[in-house]
Homo-oligomer: A and B are copies of this chain.
Amino acid sequence: MSEVFPLKDPVRHIIWKGDRLRVLDQRLLPRRISYIDCRTPAGVAKATKDMALRGAPLIGCAAAFGMALAAKKGGKRALPEAAALLKSARPTAVNLACAVDRMLEAARFCPNGDLFAHLAGAALAFYEEDILANQTMAKLGASLMHRGSRVITHCNAGALATAGLGTAVGIIRYAHHLGKIEHVYPCETRPYLQGSRLTLWELMRAKVPATLITDNMAAHVMKTQRISAVIVGSDRIAANADVCNKIGTYGLAILARHHGIPFIVAAPATTVDFMTPDGSAIPIEERSASEVLEIHGRPIAPAGARARHPAFDVTPHELVTAIVTEKGIVRPVNGRNLKRIVLGKK
């Protein structure tokens, strides 16, 4: 990995300003570029909870800066409360907890001296680690693609969800750079429309040929459009390699299996949670029904209607063809191989 990585991403989604974290409000994309200034851990937690800031790896990076902001204001004594606040902002993505724990650990190694400067440096290092992880995943994942690939992706596992080029979208963009991608079909990903608002926006900026589909078109497109692979990101991977990701992922994995299409998950090692034995132990965030019942603030259902809004689902590892991490490719997908690749253990 000594050569310069050939793709850049100009998305400025979180910007460390030394005394605050500027956060791109992703809810307004692609209509408007607007930033929120977070000066406290509570500000970062709120932006995360409200989904202005989203994407499992990115909310981890932002939380790391949130811990630095806590140290700036309240020193070491402020860290436990900030840690609890940030971790509780969203329950499913484990990168958040991983980043916060990393910062608590960093604080332990700074008994004296400027704790804020130390933690800000650690947060930047965590951020840059994610950029490099993206690049490595992009190369590894692209090695699984053949020329003329036609790919389905879901939600946004792109530059907007990470510090770098993205996980799933990083692979797609790098494979496209190598001339291997013929077409991409992002699923719109209701209710938040991350596919149409964010992934399609990234692909169009990168000049990757892409056509939007509604989530319910995936099976028809798999049958009629010679799809080569489904590539998605993840919010948490359990010890047995079950994959938690945006709602709809589990259905796509079943459809891919039915059509004999490889189902590939891309996620950095920070997404793997060896403390969670299997998918059934992953807490699935249930968000507000109003996010399903309204679009652009206008109702799409009768007044008084009820709706479910599980934000994630779990794909059993048996349905996953390969997990691409920056440590290597896990295949066949099972707990033993996951441990071997991610922890380097037999």
Contacts and interface: CB of A to CB of B under 8 A. Distances in A.
Given A196-B300, A250-B223, A300-B193, A306 B212 contact: yes
A12 interface: no
Given A197-B301, A212-B293, A212-B307, 7 more contacts: A212-B301, A212-B306, A213-B308, A217-B248, A217-B308, A295-B295, A295-B296
B189 A216 contact: yes
Interface in A162-218: 185, 187-191, 193, 196-197, 200-201, 204, 210-218
A151 to B, nearest CB: 15
A309 B241 CA distance: 35
A219 interface: yes
A280 to B, nearest CB: 10
A30 B302 contact: yes
Given A217-B248, A248-B216, A302 B255 contact: no
Given A214-B215, A216-B251, A200 B301 contact: yes
Interface residues of A, number: 52
B255 A313 contact: no
10 contacts: A31-B299, A188-B301, A196-B300, A197-B301, A200-B305, A212-B307, A213-B308, A215-B216, A217-B247, A254-B254
A196 B250 contact: no
Nearest to A31: B299
Contact of A190 (B190, B220, B255, B298): B190
A117 interface: no
Contacts of A305: 196, 200, 204, 212
A124 interface: no
A221 interface: yes
B200 A216 contact: no
